[in-house]
A and B are shown apart, each in its own frame.
Chain A
Amino acid sequence: MSVPMMDAVSIRDAVRSGIVSAEQVANDFVRRAQTANSSLNAFHELFESEALEAARAVDAKVKAGKDPGALAGVPVAVKDNLATKVGRTTCSSKMLQHYRSPFTATCVERLQAAGAVVIGKTNMDEFAMGSSTEHCAWGPVKNPWDTTRVPGGSSGGSAVAAAAGLCGFSLGSDTGGSIRQPASLCGCVGFKPTYGRISRYGLVAFGSSLDQVGPLTRSVRDAALTYQVMAGIDDRDSTTADLSVEDPMKDLETPIAGLRVGVPKQYLSDANDATVNACVNDALQRLQKLGATLVEVDLPLTDIGISTYYVIAPAEASGNLARFDGIRYGHRAALKTGESLDTLYSRSRAEGFGPEVQRRIMLGTYVLSSGYYDAYYGRALRVRRLIKAEFDNAFAKCDVIAGPASPSPAFPFGGMGDPLKMYLCDVYTVNTNIAGLPAISVPIGFATEGSRSLPIGLHLQAPAFADAKLLRAARMVEKLFPELARQAPHSS
């Protein structure tokens, strides 16, 4: 295996034992990212000198015999909606083109404290709104398996960086599938922890009751380790759970005896790509051979998730994005003499936000407006309780629920046409966020399109705060597909 495709744990071990210096690692990954960026556009910015400086500090600790941390010298790529003091934090939006954060997100600070080295910020769908990373003000991100296809979204740049070996691992955010779907489409592991497990301090808010930070990695153990470093209560985010974090590394390698895998009939729909269903069925059969029990569960509200999500998420977004008014930070439009403050707000926002963000703000504004609130937002919140209850009932019969992360493999650029079609791709991931559950996508195979291989992921969901158990189940799946482990993208 080539060094860039090593996982974070292996890189960490090599640095800690002095086999390779953190500086060398940082230098190699920054170079690789620079070269790959002309074709993939995964990064908006790379921080060469800052990364080398941070890496040298890790090397100094190794030399001095001090603990260099659980992620010593591991290069991390950070989604551009996570605040970092270094560089800019743009959310891939013209609105924040020049924005420099005066602080660093808690999750990034915790990774840095553990020795991880921030090498750059990754491109994304603007303000995390999208499933293809086509809505990025700095140009679309390309899928490393086939550059005529999307990487998924909204954490597209982070998924590409992890899958193509341009970093040790990356950070994404997931409001309705934005970590898991691009991980599935790019062939890496994407983990969205339970809502409240990782601090959202420094994450630019989209849907505050749905947003969660998580890692995109080349192995399940990396997902577990990076999660462990980031998870836990934070005084700066009052929605972080005041519950101790179960050690996800302790029993990771031990398969769960008698694992009960819930299979909702709604997930293997005929509307899915046939290869996706075939790969999911293959993974389920392999799990069964291993001793797992497949349990049929019923989730009839699966389909209504899209309608529920596309009311709640835009509603929350319309409030959260009201702060971008051209006054204190962000893009400010030029006014002609005599034009009002109100024009300054509306022109700055129209110039700063791209079309998908404008659509969602308008949708959210509509469903919250007088006369429509009860019919849309109020009703969606009631359906939300039913969706959560439906999961609770299902988890009485099983430990994890399995299905596809995405109804299809990576699709061509422009392939979705209208916005609603794109929204419908999120059918298997949005309900996870609506219910606040942990979930993960693990590579299980490929679809073949001409000479191209397009990755497919298995989506596993678990009860709230069963993150460690979910990771163990994901590790069982990963071991069933040894040929897929850390495979470098190849396009022919």
Chain B
Amino acid sequence: MTEKHTLSIEETAHVAKLARLEIAPAQLEQYRGELANVLGHVAKLKTINVDGIDPLTSPVDSTNRLAADQPGATLSLDELFMNAPAVEGRFIAVPKVLAEENS
């Protein structure tokens, strides 16, 4: 059983924006159809009665484990920077974030 799920191109564009993906219109239309198919299939979840059932986020019972507060070896700044696409001195370079003030 797969139900028909409608997903508009505007909704698809909104999801792409939330996901920070710059997608061309033709590709967006393809994703719209494919996502609608998958969402139509996963709508099966509605057929399962989950009244009174708690969500299960992890398959194993685990308790929070705290590390001893002791300094240890870590990666150097050089190692951390070695994959950065653009570096200026001791900083990772990014495009201007703030608009220039009118002067």
Contact = CB atoms under 8 A, between A and B. Distances in A.
A255 interface: no
B69 interface: no
Contacts of B95: 335, 339-341, 344
Nearest to B64: A238
B50 interface: yes
A297 interface: no
Contact of A307 (B22, B41, B83): B41
A274 interface: no
B26 interface: no
Nearest to B11: A366
Contacts of A102: 75, 79-80, 82-83
A47 interface: no
A481 interface: no
Interface string A319-353: 00010011111111001000111111111011001
Nearest to B80: A102
A209 B57 contact: yes
Contacts of A151: none
Query: Which interface residue of B15, B21, B67, B94 has the most chain A CB atoms within 10 A?
Result: B21
Nearest to B7: A366
A386 interface: yes
Contacts of A363: 35, 38-39
B62 A239 contact: yes
Nearest to B79: A102
Interface residues of A, number: 78
Interface in B68-100: 75, 79-80, 82-86, 92, 94-97
Contact of B42 (A194, A310, A355): A310
Contacts of B64: 238
B41 A420 contact: yes
Interface in B33-64: 34-35, 37-39, 41-48, 50, 53-60, 62, 64
Contacts of B18: 365, 369
Interface string B1-35: 00000000000100111111111000100010011
Given A209-B59, A241-B60, A343 B41 contact: no
A345 B20 contact: yes
A488 B42 CA distance: 40
Contacts of A436: 58-60
B44 A307 contact: yes
A380 B17 CA distance: 24
Contact of A329 (B57, B84, B97): B84
Given A304-B44, A325-B20, A339-B95, A388 B59 contact: yes
B37 A418 contact: yes
B23 A350 contact: yes
A383 B15 contact: no
The 3 closest A-B pairs by CB, nearest first: A436-B59, A381-B55, A329-B83
Interface of A: 98-100, 102-103, 194-196, 209-210, 235, 238-239, 241-242, 301, 303-304, 306-308, 310-311, 318, 322, 325-332, 335, 339-347, 349-350, 353, 355, 358-359, 361-363, 365-367, 369, 375-376, 378-386, 388, 418-420, 423, 433-437, 464
